């Protein structure tokens, strides 16, 4: 069982995140999914198919870390397993956000297959928890898009078990996943990624 007060706090953080991310244009047309940890075995996560700018408490439900609904008849996000594997790998992670911005979508389609997006030399890399200097490399893996979410969950689990320090990943032609200790950290990571994606796209435009 889970603590109802902790669920309410987690759900509120998801609802506010949705308002912000939809407002920035990063979660259009019911895309995206968000979650926040309640305890070591439970997370609050968005119900599948809901408008992310207009979330209410009925649009957030509880699942356990195997992805099974707890006290809810709703269907959790189709991508629930992409969230639960990260909570399993990282006991410190408190929130995960998946967004569908134009920049994440376009940039991921321009990157060569089999290579991560390497971000280097940007002062804004310090917006990521634990990064102290622009003289560091953030390797953002780009996974191929698939409708087989269990297979993708397994791939991401393997990659992040080997690269626990990296704060997110792209799915080609699809979007971004990022996480943080708190929802505030996680929102900062989304904003930082969006800034860096724009820088990369702009660099490609002026220096093809
Ligand atoms: C509206 S298309 C986007 C979906 O296919 C999916 O990628 C997505 O992000 C939202 O799925 P959801 O099941 O609502 O969590
Ligand atoms: Zn998606």
Given a contact cutoff of 8 angstroms between Cβ atoms, the answer to whether 44 and 11 are in contact is: yes
Which ligand neighbours the alpha carbon of 48 most closely? Answer: 1
Q: Span 70-96, mean pLDDT?
A: 98
Q: What is the CATH number of the domain that holds 121?
A: 3.40.225.10
Report the relative pairing of strands 137-140 and 117-120 from DSSP bridges.
Answer: antiparallel
Q: Is the CB of 49 under 6 A from ligand 1?
A: yes
Pocket test for ligand 1, best of 28, 33, 59, 178 (most atoms within 8 A of CB): 33
Q: Is the CB of 76 under 6 A from ligand 1?
A: no
Q: Which residue range(s) make up the domain with 111?
A: 4-206
Report the number of distinct structural domains present in the chain.
1
Q: How many CB atoms lie within 10 A of CB 115?
A: 10
Residue 178's DSSP bridge partners are 97, 168
Using CA atoms in the order 146, 149, 150, 152, what is the torsion angle rounded to 10 degrees? 50
pLDDT in tens, 137-186: 999 999 999 999 999 999 999 999 999 999 999 999 999 999 999 999 99
pLDDT of 78 reads 98
pLDDT band, residue 208 (cuts 50/70/90): confident
Ligand 1 mean position, distance from CA 98 (Å): 9
Pocket test for ligand 1, best of 21, 29, 100 (most atoms within 8 A of CB): 100
Give the three-state DSSP class for 89. Answer: helix
End-to-end CA distance of the chain: 54
Q: Span 66-93, mean pLDDT?
A: 98
């Amino acid at each position: 069982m889970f603590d109802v007060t902790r669920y309410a706090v987690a759900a509120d953080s998801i609802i506010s995140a949705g308002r912000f991310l939809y407002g920035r244009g990063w979660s259009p047309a019911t895309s995206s999914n968000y979650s926040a940890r309640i305890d070591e075995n439970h997370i609050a996560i968005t119900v599948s198919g809901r408008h992310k700018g207009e979330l209410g408490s009925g649009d957030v439900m509880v699942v356990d870390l195997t992805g099974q609904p707890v006290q809810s008849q709703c269907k959790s996000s189709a991508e629930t397993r992409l969230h639960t594997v990260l909570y399993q790998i990282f006991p410190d992670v408190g929130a995960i956000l998946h967004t569908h911005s134009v920049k994440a979508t376009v940039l991921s389609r321009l990157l060569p297959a089999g290579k991560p997006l390497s971000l280097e030399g940007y002062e804004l890399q310090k917006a990521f928890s634990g990064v102290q200097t622009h003289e560091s490399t953030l390797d953002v893996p780009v996974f191929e898009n698939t409708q087989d979410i269990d297979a993708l969950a397994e791939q991401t689990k393997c990659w992040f078990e080997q690269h626990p320090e990296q704060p997110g990943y792209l799915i080609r032609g699809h979007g971004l996943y990022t996480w943080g200790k708190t929802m505030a950290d996680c929102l900062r990571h989304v904003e930082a990624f969006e800034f860096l994606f724009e820088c990369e796209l702009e660099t490609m435009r002026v220096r093809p």
